[in-house]
A and B are shown apart, each in its own frame.
Chain A
Amino acid sequence: MRTFLINLGKRLLLVLPVVWAVVTLVFLLIHIVPGDPVRNALGDNATEAQVMELKHRLGLDLPLSSQYINYWRGVLKGDLGVSLLNPSDRVAEKILSRYPATIELALAGLFVAILISVPLGVTAGTNQGKLIDNVASVIALLGISTPGFVLGPLMILLFAIKLDLLPVSGRYGPEYLILPAVTMGAALASILTRMVRSSVIEELNEDYVRTARAKGLSERQVIYKHVLKNGLIPVVTIIGLQFGVLLAGAIITEIIFSWPGIGRLTIDSINARDFPMVQGCILMIAITYIFANLITDFAYRLLDPRIRVE
């Protein structure tokens, strides 16, 4: 337990410089805007006085170093500034109100991916080279090659318009979650299916499998009690790494299905040139990703005693 805590501390220390760099990059984003971001947002009809007034209110008239310090001060207090369009909108509050919808969608996508990939991967891996294995490979390949912005509208066409089974878009009940979750999870399911398959094949060659078989366990017990336990460990790492891909995919999925999450907020704010809001969204997604990876890392250590010993 003690080494575990030390490791935890070490990992957290390693994450700090990355968090610092991410915050700095996000802060700098508004300064790569060609021209004047405030004038951009207010449009050509705004007077010089209006532009200066808003700049002053946002602190954008200060020297860069003070702006940077102010930005950090805000981030540490959980204050990400105000919307350019509607200065009474606080960025942090707006993001937090949209955040649960995105997390719900990402977790649902993850659930779909695991639900498809584990049985499919195990079946393929234990029947290596047979027809079912090849069918699984083809499915996985199709899944990897079908981007969300093709799959999503295709499923809307099929299940919502032609068959009229599921709603087209919005977030008004559990049935609204199905199509977006499948859209999000499909690519991850394909990657995981391949992982589970090769992991199972690898573990099946291990000595302990021979031992388990020799002592008379049924093939089912061998696979579910022994092989899966070890075989799923690398899969956990991939899930953590892919969680970021899921979060990024949420942006596209939320646009397709009008899902009121942080992804749609990002794109809507980009279109409205509401730069502080965009900065806030990007920062929030990146930080979520960093912590998702951290959690995975620890889940991995807890699951695999071989790493814990070191």
Chain B
Amino acid sequence: MNILGKIGLLIIAGFFIVAIFAPLIAPYDPVTQKQQPGNLPIEERLKPTLSHPFGLDDLGRDVLSRVIYGARISMQVGVMVVMISALIGIAIGSISGYYGGWVDRFFSGFLFNVFMAFPSILLAIAMVAFLGPSIRNLIIALSVIGWVGYARLMRGQVLKVREYDFVTAARAIGAGDLRILARHILPNAIQPLIVQASLGMAGAVLSEASLSFLGLGVQPPTPSWGVMLNDARSFLSVAPHLLIFPGLTVMLTVMAFNFVGDSLREMLDPKLKR
């Protein structure tokens, strides 16, 4: 793995630790509002200070603590979405590639195309809009759009691997379809799936933030980076720190997952090593 990939892994590990231990790390409660003297101008009241290094938001809540708790939401949504969509995708992709015929024509010729006919987060926006905004619905919506990537990848891998001699050999000694898929084909397809999962985490974190930014994801007062960034827009000129700190955090997270995804892909695909 290249140096950027290692840096990415370190950053991701850091975010997971922060997410898991948020109550221990955060200096303040993320929703408690601090009473402030009313006679100070808003710039003075909210700006970063030693006791509030990322400043306060318009309601007097500590931005650093909210960013830390926001990591929880991001990582939770990211992990859930990647797990659910990978499971669905692997199952459908395997069935499609392994059985071929009309099954494959239905899945890869039709269903994949339908789901890819909606530009990225549009379907998620649509689903959350009609189901109602909540973290659960957000996870459902992002999984519904996420599985196709895994399914296409898995199908391609299965098509390649099922022709190998060891699969024929396994079949010859009487192994069933499920055993062949799970024991012989899946392990051979796992590497590109890991790359997809890593890039999928970046996508899920980004989509969660986008939908929350639009008011369609996490609902206030729960701290989410997207919600914080949306709130920040009303105070751009007086409190730019409300934009900058959550913004940098989102960038850093997405970048870290992209680093890892890219460097894994490079490791696995010798053609990219130039």
Contacts and interface: CB of A to CB of B under 8 A. Distances in A.
Given A128-B274, A153-B236, A278-B126, A252 B119 contact: no
B130 A29 contact: yes
A103 interface: no
Contacts of B129: 29, 266, 270, 278
Interface of B: 110, 113-114, 117-122, 125-127, 129-132, 206, 209-210, 213-216, 226, 229-230, 232-233, 236-237, 240, 243-244, 247, 250-252, 254-255, 258, 274
A120 interface: no
A244 B229 contact: no
Contact of B229 (A22, A30, A150): A150
Q: Is the interface of A mostly helix, strand, loop or mixed?
A: helix
A257 to B, nearest CB: 11
A271 B133 CA distance: 11
A150 B130 contact: no
Contact of B209 (A26, A128, A147, A247): A147
Contact of A252 (B110, B130, B210, B251): B210
Contacts of B119: 243-248, 285-286, 289
Nearest to A160: B236
Closest 9 CB pairs between A and B?
A244-B119, A145-B255, A150-B247, A21-B114, A270-B129, A248-B119, A145-B254, A149-B213, A282-B126
Q: Which of A34, A245, A248, A256 has the most CB of B within 10 A?
A: A248
A271 B215 contact: yes
A18 B206 CA distance: 27
Q: Is the interface of B mostly helix, strand, loop or mixed?
A: helix
A29 B250 CA distance: 31
A22 B114 contact: yes
A33 interface: yes
A245 B274 CA distance: 29
A146 interface: yes
B255 A285 contact: no
29 contacts: A18-B113, A26-B126, A29-B129, A29-B130, A32-B130, A34-B131, A141-B255, A142-B251, A144-B254, A144-B258, A145-B255, A147-B210, A149-B226, A149-B229, A150-B229, A150-B243, A150-B251, A153-B236, A154-B247, A157-B236, A248-B122, A248-B125, A251-B214, A252-B214, A255-B213, A266-B129, A267-B215, A286-B117, A286-B122
A149 B118 CA distance: 21
B236 A247 contact: no
Contacts of B206: 147
A161 interface: yes
B44 to A, nearest CB: 18
A85 interface: no
Contacts of B258: 141, 144-145
B120 A146 contact: no
